[in-house]
């Protein structure tokens, strides 16, 4: 089956329903159709209602298979039906993408849980109504409010707290963060009534106070639902002092997918989603964060006011200088270099830096991989392995991921070619497997996946000479450990877990290949197109200072701090003002 990592793509498309419908078209009612019969007959949906129902079914499927169980200590989830629960967090009643503000609580009731009504009334009557997303997101980059307006503990009366004992089977805490294109997330929340130096994806003091109060109240279980399209900082959520038992990441659910959250909590759905980013204890541990912020273009030393422009939005910019070392390519490559004693990894502890790696996701059952086999054909690698549900209670699906590692050669170093320790190159999801059942998974990887672009010497795609490793893994970190094991490394070398060399395959490329992927399918040569381009033209005058940091392998990254003068641009394009 198709692996559904999270709910973003479908729900995003659905949010643009009018635009997509205008472009692609649908037939709303055959009885009113006047077009040629051949056009009518090729339409999949006869009416708008049929299309809407199909959209809903797809949204439910994506939500069910995209939710990610990050933590589940002592099998805290699923909750028994009939459990009496207290639902905390202002945003529990302000679910993203839903007009009906109590939908999440109704979802929990539909799943068979009894809800603390007094606590529900507290949030319903609260004046705290902002929930961490800009007021004008997606509208040309106009900055939003970004306030995270959680109810402070001072507003929880003794009468409210006294109800906790009657609904103590579980505390469910909802933490919400919005954010998408058109609105870069703030790295400093001071101007949004937050603390100086705290980023938007960190918990506010009121949220930390909420976790502490819930823990002190003595609930039997504490469940955190991170309702966010971005990877939040995990340091506070996973702080042992708060005693959180389970953490579920739920991205955007669309109008209908929220129904599936209650079913997952009740065990009617077994989670099989996987993280699409690295969840770090502190997002600022990534070098890429040095270039992240609210940087604005200036004119005559002053920030250009977006209100005076005719194009809308703000004159903001980001400088990208990290190369490939973003996300898991940074965290996992530095880990491997630290274990192998190569590169410039420095004093690096992956386990205290990364909370959950790329591709990670827990389940209510357990799975085992075996019989890993790779066969080579003329233009592909064909991978098979057996997946077995080794649990005794729950049926479920397993998401199998295939990674490869390219050799990092002297040629690469001499020509500025970067290579990550692991690259996702294929994935598949099993059918629902009952306890004890197995399925053979097949994944095909095109040989073109092994190519890399050499911009400085060959100036086209190449395949390096050396050893390439393939591995089937549960996540990116597991993949690197498998490859390290295949190379002969062990936990004595600093690995945080023993890898499984039996789940790897080594492919040897005898010579450097600069020809095979140097042309397109129709024979057009693939070559550099912008050799004459200057990324820093003389007209762009850096107004303030620059500084340097080192990337994972010791090369210098230029970090820009300050503003650019853009008089040159305004002279050439007066319509911008």
DSSP state letter for 283: G
Q: Specify which residues 504 forms β-bridges with.
A: 471
Report cis status (omega within 30 of 0) of the bond before 78. yes
Q: Does residue 469 sit in helix, strand or coil?
A: strand
Instruction: Determine the Cα–Cα distance for residues 502 and 362; give it in Å rounded to an integer.
Output: 23
Q: What is the pLDDT of residue 19?
A: 38
Q: Is residue 206 within 8 Å of 91, Cβ to Cβ?
A: no
Q: Is pLDDT of 101 > 70? A: no
Instruction: Determine the Cα–Cα distance for residues 313 and 311; give it in Å rounded to an integer.
Output: 7
Q: Is pLDDT of 132 > 90? A: no
| 410-332-376 Cα angle (round to 5) | 65
Average pLDDT over residues 30-37: 42
Report the mean per-residue pLDDT for the chain. 83
Q: Which long-range contacts (CB under 8 A, 24 or more apart) does 100-108 make?
A: 103/258, 104/174, 104/258, 104/261, 107/258, 107/259, 107/261, 107/262, 108/172, 108/262, 108/265
Instruction: Determine the Cα–Cα distance for residues 498 and 225; give it in Å rounded to an integer.
Output: 31
Cβ contacts of 384 within 8 Å, gap of 6 or more: 371, 372, 373, 440, 441, 442, 443
Q: Is pLDDT of 526 > 70? A: yes
Q: What is the pLDDT of residue 534?
A: 56
- Over its C-alpha atoms, the chain yields an Rg (Å, rounded) of 26
Q: Specify which residues 85 forms β-bridges with.
A: 115, 170
Q: At what angle do helices 17-24 and 8-15 cross, to 10 degrees?
A: 80
CA distance readout (Å), 158 to 32, 45, 161: 62, 55, 5
Lookup: tokens for 291: 């270039």
Q: Is residue 258 within 8 Å of 106, Cβ to Cβ?
A: no
Q: Is pLDDT of 466 > 60? A: yes
Cβ contacts of 460 within 8 Å, gap of 6 or more: 453, 454, 514, 517, 518, 525, 526, 527, 528
Q: Is residue 397 within 8 Å of 430, Cβ to Cβ?
A: yes
Q: Is pLDDT of 540 > 50? A: no
DSSP state letter for 136: T
Which band of pLDDT confidence, cut at 50, 70 and 90, is reported for residue 232? very high
Q: Is pLDDT of 82 > 90? A: yes
Average pLDDT over residues 441-469: 97
Average pLDDT over residues 527-545: 60
Q: Which tens digit of pLDDT belongs to each residue from 205-226?
A: 999 999 999 999 999 999 999 9
**SS3 letters across 174-221:** EEEECCCCCCCCCCCCHHHCCCCCCCCCCCCHHHHHHHHHHHHHCCCC
Element (H, E) at 88: strand 84-88
Instruction: Determine the Cα–Cα distance for residues 205 and 139; give it in Å rounded to an integer.
Output: 30
Which band of pLDDT confidence, cut at 50, 70 and 90, is reported for residue 344? confident
Please report the sign of the dihedral spanned by the C-alpha atoms of residue 330, residue 333, residue 337, residue 339: positive
Q: Is pLDDT of 97 > 90? A: no
Which band of pLDDT confidence, cut at 50, 70 and 90, is reported for residue 42? very low
Q: Which of 174, 180, 179, 211 has its CA nearest to residue 192? A: 179
Q: Which tens digit of pLDDT belongs to each residue from 247-294?
A: 999 998 877 899 999 999 999 999 999 999 999 999 989 988 877 766
Which band of pLDDT confidence, cut at 50, 70 and 90, is reported for residue 128? confident
Q: Is pLDDT of 5 > 80? A: no
Q: Is pLDDT of 110 > 90? A: yes
Q: Which tens digit of pLDDT belongs to each residue from 158-208?
A: 999 999 999 999 999 999 988 766 567 888 888 777 888 888 999 999 999
Q: Which tens digit of pLDDT belongs to each residue from 492-519?
A: 999 999 999 999 999 999 999 999 999 9
Maximum Cα–Cα distance for the chain, whole Å? 76
Which band of pLDDT confidence, cut at 50, 70 and 90, is reported for residue 552? low
Mean pLDDT is lowest, of 33-47, 62-76, 353-367, for 33-47
Query: Across 349-473, where does the E strand assignment appear?
Result: 354-356, 367-376, 380-389, 399-405, 423-429, 438-446, 452-454, 460-462, 466-473
Q: What is the pLDDT of residue 458?
A: 97
Q: Does residue 250 sit in helix, strand or coil?
A: strand
Greater pLDDT, 312 or 245: 245
Q: Which tens digit of pLDDT belongs to each residue from 46-75?
A: 899 999 899 999 999 999 999 999 999 999
pTM of the model: 0.85
Which band of pLDDT confidence, cut at 50, 70 and 90, is reported for residue 434? very high
Phi, psi of 128 (to 5 degrees): -85, 105
Q: Which of 420, 565, 526 has its CA nearest to residue 483? A: 420
């Amino acid at each position: 089956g198709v692996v559904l990592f999270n709910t973003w793509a479908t729900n995003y498309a659905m949010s643009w329903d009018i635009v997509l419908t205008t472009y692609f078209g649908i037939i709303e009612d055959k009885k009113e159709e006047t077009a040629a019969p051949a056009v009518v007959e090729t339409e999949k949906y006869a009416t708008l209602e049929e299309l809407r129902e199909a959209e809903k079914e797809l949204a439910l499927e994506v939500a069910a298979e995209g939710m990610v169980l990050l933590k589940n200590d002592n099998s805290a989830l699923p909750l028994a039906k009939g459990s009496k629960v207290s639902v905390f967090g202002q945003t529990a009643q302000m679910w993203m993408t839903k007009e009906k503000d109590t939908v999440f609580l109704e979802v929990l009731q539909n799943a068979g849980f009894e809800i603390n009504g007094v606590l529900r009334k507290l949030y319903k009557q609260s004046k705290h109504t902002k929930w961490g997303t800009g007021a004008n997101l997606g509208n040309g980059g106009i900055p939003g409010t970004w306030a995270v307006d959680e109810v402070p503990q001072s507003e929880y009366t003794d009468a409210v707290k006294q109800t906790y004992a009657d609904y103590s089977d579980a505390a469910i805490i909802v933490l919400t963060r919005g954010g998408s294109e058109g609105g870069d997330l703030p790295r400093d929340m001071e101007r949004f009534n937050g603390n100086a130096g705290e980023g938007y994806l960190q918990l506010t003091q009121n949220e930390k106070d909420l976790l502490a109060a819930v823990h002190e109240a003595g609930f039997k279980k504490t469940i955190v639902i991170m309702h966010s399209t971005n990877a939040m900082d995990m340091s506070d959520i996973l702080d042992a002092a708060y005693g959180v038992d389970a953490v579920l990441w739920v991205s955007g659910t669309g109008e209908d997918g929220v129904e599936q959250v209650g079913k997952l909590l009740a065990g009617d759905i077994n989670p099989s989603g996987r993280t699409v980013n690295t969840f770090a204890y502190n997002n600022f541990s990534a070098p890429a964060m040095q270039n992240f912020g609210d940087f604005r273009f200036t004119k005559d030393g002053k920030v250009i006011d977006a209100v005076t422009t005719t194009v809308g939005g703000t004159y903001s910019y980001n400088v990208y200088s990290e190369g490939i070392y973003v996300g898991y390519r940074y965290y996992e490559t530095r880990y491997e270099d630290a274990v192998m004693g190569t590169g410039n990894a420095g004093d690096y502890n992956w386990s205290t830096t990364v909370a959950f790696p790329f591709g990670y996701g827990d389940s209510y059952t357990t799975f085992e991989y075996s019989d890993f086999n790779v066969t080579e054909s003329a233009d592909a690698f064909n991978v098979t392995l057996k997946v077995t549900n080794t649990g005794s209670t729950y049926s479920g699906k397993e998401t199998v991921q295939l990674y490869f590692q390219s050799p990092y050669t002297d040629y690469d170093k001499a020509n500025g070619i970067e290579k990550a320790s692991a690259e996702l190159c294929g994935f598949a999801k099993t059918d629902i497997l009952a306890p004890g059942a197995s399925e053979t998974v097949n994944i095909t990887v095109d040989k073109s996946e092994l190519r890399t672009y050499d911009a400085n010497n060959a100036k086209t795609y190449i395949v390096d000479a050396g050893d390439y490793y393939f591995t089937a893994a549960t996540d990116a970190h597991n993949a690197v450990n498998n490859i390290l094991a295949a190379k002969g490394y062990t936990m004595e070398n600093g690995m945080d877990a023993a890898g499984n060399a039996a789940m790897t395959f080594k492919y040897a490329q005898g010579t450097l290949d600069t020809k095979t992927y140097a042309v397109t399918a129709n024979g057009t040569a693939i070559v550099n197109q912008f050799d004459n381009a200057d990324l820093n033209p003389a007209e762009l005058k850096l107004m303030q200072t620059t500084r340097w940091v080192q990337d994972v392998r010791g090369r210098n990254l230029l970090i820009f701090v300050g503003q650019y003068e853009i008089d040159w641009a305004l002279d050439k394009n007066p319509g911008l003002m």
